[in-house]
Structure formats: C-alpha cells, structure tokens
Amino acid sequence: MLFLVAALLTPSGAISGVAEAFGVHEIGQQVLSSSVPTRVESLDSGVRLAPAALDPRSATGDGINTVFPWTIPTSGALTPGGNSTLLVPDAGATTHGSSTASTIGASTTRVDLALLPRLTGVPLLDQLTLLPRGDLSRFVSEHPDALKQLVADPPAARDVSAWWASAPASGRASLLATAPTFVGNLSGVPFDVRNSANRGSLKHSIAELKGSIKGLGRGEVVSARLQLQMLEKVRDALKPSRDGQPKSLLTFDAAHSGRAAIAVGDISTADYVSYLVPGMFFSVDTALGTWTKVATELNDEQSKWVSLLAQTDPTMKGKTVATVAWIGYQTPGITDVTSLALADEGASLIGQAIDGVQAVRAGSEPFVTVIGHSYGSTAAMIELANGGMHVDALALIGSPGSAAQSASELSVPRGNVFVGEAAWDPVVNSAFYGSDPGSGAFGANRMSVAGGVDPITHRALTASAGHLGYFEPGSEAMRNLALIGLGHGALVTQGTTMDASRTLD
C-alpha cells in the first residue's frame, strides 16, 4: 500500500499532526525535542523517523520544499534516526525540473535533480552517492560551486566519516570516478581513498594541461606553463623516499596558487602524527618540494628517537610516525603579510585537516602535534584559541605573535606548548600579531635552538640562525621538534622539566 505524505517536515506542530494521523503521537513528540529536520515514513510494520534529506529552512516559497510527494515503502522496520534516503517523488505526482530514475535495492525510485543545488552538508552528500553515475556527472558539471562550497565549508569530519562508511559502495565508486578532486579534499574520507583520488586528479590535470598548450595563445601559454610547473612540483614531491617511507597526497587543489599536503609515513596507522604549517612566501610551486623534504627529515629523526627510547621504555617499542608537509592555505607575500585575513583562512583549513585525522582515526587516535613556523604559527594559534581544533602538542618557531594572551588559552594540554627562537631571526619577539609567545608571561616552554651537545646521545647539535634556519638535519631545533612530536617534551633541551644529566647509555 502506498501513502503520499509531506516529505519535508520540521520539528514543529506539523510533525505532531502527521504523527497523530498515523497513530504515533508519542514518537512525534520525541521528534519535537530534536533540532534535526525530520520526515515521517508510514510503513505497514510501523513508522520510521529519519533526518530529512532537504532542510526546509531553505524553502523559497514555491511549495517544493514544504510539500513534496514521495512514494512510501510498503515494508520496513521501526528505526528512529539513521541516514536519510533518496528523495522519492510519487510516480503520479507533479514534479519541478528534470527527474531521473535509479534502482536502489529492489525498488525503483525517482529524484528531482532540480532540488539538489539547494542541499548542503551531509544531506547533499547522501544524495550524491545515490544518484546514477550519468546524472551525478551532469550534476557535477552543472553545479561545480556546490561541491566547492562543500569543501570550503564542510560538515564536521566525524559526520563525513560516518557518511562515507554508510554510503553504498556503488555510490562511492561513482563519486570517486566523477568528482575525484572533491573526494580527495574532503576531511573525514579515509586517507587511502583521498590519496588515490588526488593522485588521479593530479595525473589527469597534467595530461590535460599538456594537451591543451599547443592550441593556446602566447599569453595563455605562459599562464598554462606556470600552472603545469606547479603540478609537476607536486608530482616530483611525491617521489618515493630513499628509506621507502610511503607518501600520500592528502590535499590537492590546482586552482590559483594551489594547495597541497603530503604525508610521509602511514598516517592511517601511525602512533604519532606531526603537521608542519608554513609561514609567508611558502607556495606549492616554490616550496612544496622543500617542505616535503623537511617532513621527511623530521620523520627520520623521530623514527631514530623511537628506536632509541624503546631501549629503555617498552611502551615505545613498535611505535610508528607520520609527518605532514602541509601547504593547505595561501600564505602571504609582501603585499598582504600585515593582514590576518590569510591567517584566519589558514586557521580554519588546518583545523579541518586535524579534525579529519581525529575523525578517521576515531578509536585509535594518534598523538597529534602541530609545528607552526612564522605566520603559520599565528594561524594555528587562532584556531587553537577559538576551539576550532585541539592537539596534543604545539611547537611555535619563528613566531610573529599570537591573538591568545597565554598558552593556557590554547586547546593544548598544559605543558605541551613549546617556543623556539633563533638568533638573528628578525620576526621573533616582534609580537606583530598580538602577544609574544616567547615571553615568560605567555607561559610556553622554551625550546633551545642554539646548538651544543645532546645530553642523551652526546651528539653535537648545530645551531639555528635566521628566520629559516630551524629545519637543518642534526640541529638542536630538529632534535627538539622530533621529541615534542613523540610526546616526550620532558626531554626537550631547556624545557621546563628537562634533566640534562639523564642519558640512555
């Protein structure tokens, strides 16, 4: 038996009336207390309540959002909550715009594609994995801004992770084939999926750009070659490391100056994950190769310390690390370095990245560290101060200042904020963007970068000098950054609890 009902109902008196009509007043009242838009499905075996696929608050007054006929299944279980299914107009109902047929399970359903651009967040994600591939391709082609907006302002990564896990396998495959760049940049999607999608997008973009250059005018050729140069820099940075550590392309956006993030090590299983957030003048074109090299060298340093610490600490045996060369935002140049606009944008984007790690690894969360250099440290502290992300440790090097007044205002466990300042670095102590993280009043631990002898290994450690001198292999700075990322801040030289007499010999 088929029933036609109002498909899109908010938690208001309307839902209560419909619930009473079907003899489920009590369930309707429970829904009233929820802020989740809800729809009612009348089933022969009961009533199923599920989140509405379309938020009625986006109604335009044309009646589509408020009364939308759909076909009700004739069997099913009483299942409060759960994921929404495809919008299903009744076959005899009048629809607006074009519609398409799709077979899901044993039933044939129809959806009005004209409604999809009005959806946002998880409801739109739900619909995308239920569309037939041809219609999905058409939607992606006709509404690219809808997907761009989803990446720019995505649902919480834990919601994306739950959506991906519950989406039909065929729908996930269609979305990967049709919109790989979208999938590859969506925090909450598994890392191996994102890596595969982004590598495919990169390969396709290089081939497409090479094929188009011959037919371009002189001015267009210059622009295309610069774009191609950037793409090839990403490709080159992904070449395997000498030690065989895997690399994953977690972020890839070829638009404008580009965005990219490369993980060194298996971020899906690593016990310790460190994100390197750069400052001004770092772009995909000019610095991704160098930044990935730094991430690789930090990974090597951390791996050596894991082996060394495991000699006396059984809990460190078998631990693994991953480091991420993250250029996931547009860093400033000379003309815009005085503004915090790009820092605000970077803050949101690094927050999404960290949220993605913690969501995908839910139940086996790694120890997460953010290492912020220069303007990148300011961006990271903005997000940590407003609660947009939380991390296990934070290292600030060459920092030009913080909007937060003290380390206690940051979403980092007490005692796990460290500050390193090199000699002849003109940026440190400037407090250009607020308070000075290197001041005693800020409350961060001092991290020596001056060089000397390692009190544990007795190795000679080189000093860092200038604004870009923190990342040299064999330096005291890299030694300390490695230990911070392993949760061993007590071993950081000139840390608040450092015992210089301790050795592992």
The verdict on pTM exceeding 0.95 is no
> Which ranges of 361-438 would DSSP assign to H, the alpha helix?
375-385
pLDDT at 344: 96
pLDDT at 112: 63
pLDDT at 329: 96
| Residue 193 backbone phi and psi in degrees, to 5 | -70, -45
Please tell me what DSSP assigns to residue 241.
P
CA distances from 50 to 10, 23, 85, 346, 454 (A): 12, 17, 8, 36, 60
Phi-psi region of 131 (alpha: psi -120 to 50; beta: other; left: phi over 0): beta
For residue 43, give both structure tokens. Answer: 């089933």
Q: CA 461 to CA 473: how far, in whole Å?
A: 9
pLDDT at 71: 31
- Rg over CA atoms, the chain: 26
pLDDT at 62: 36
Which stretches does DSSP call E strand in 317-456? 321-327, 367-373, 393-397, 417-420, 445-446, 452-453
pLDDT at 119: 86
Q: CA 450 to CA 421: how far, in whole Å?
A: 9
- CA torsion 151→156→159→164, rounded to 10°? 30
Computed from CA positions of residues 118, 122, 125, 126, in that sequence, does the dihedral angle turn out positive or negative?
Answer: negative
Please tell me what DSSP assigns to residue 199.
H
Q: Are 114 and 62 in contact (CB under 8 A)?
A: no
Q: CA 84 to CA 77: how far, in whole Å?
A: 15
For residue 8, give both structure tokens. Answer: 């899109």
For residue 222, give both structure tokens. Answer: 């210059």
Q: CA 52 to CA 39: how far, in whole Å?
A: 5
Domains and CATH numbers, the chain: 13-178 (no CATH), 237-491 (3.40.50.1820)
Q: CA 274 to CA 362: how far, in whole Å?
A: 17
- Residue 71's SS3 state is coil
446-473: pLDDT as tens digits: 999 999 999 999 999 999 999 999 999 9
Computed from CA positions of residues 205, 194, 162, 34, in that sequence, does the dihedral angle turn out positive or negative?
Answer: negative
Per-residue pLDDT of the chain (505 residues; tens, 9 = 90+): 322 222 322 233 333 333 333 232 222 222 222 333 333 333 232 222 233 333 333 333 333 332 223 332 333 322 323 333 344 333 333 333 333 434 333 334 445 677 788 888 999 999 999 899 999 999 999 999 999 999 999 999 999 999 999 999 999 999 999 999 999 999 999 999 999 999 999 999 999 999 998 878 877 888 899 999 999 999 999 999 888 889 999 999 998 889 999 999 999 999 999 999 999 999 999 999 999 999 999 999 999 999 999 999 999 999 999 999 999 999 998 888 889 999 999 999 999 999 999 999 999 999 999 999 999 999 999 999 999 999 999 999 999 999 899 999 999 999 999 999 999 999 998 888 999 999 999 999 999 999 999 999 999 999 999 999 999 999 999 999 999 999 999 999 984 333 333 334 3
Q: Are 83 and 65 in contact (CB under 8 A)?
A: no
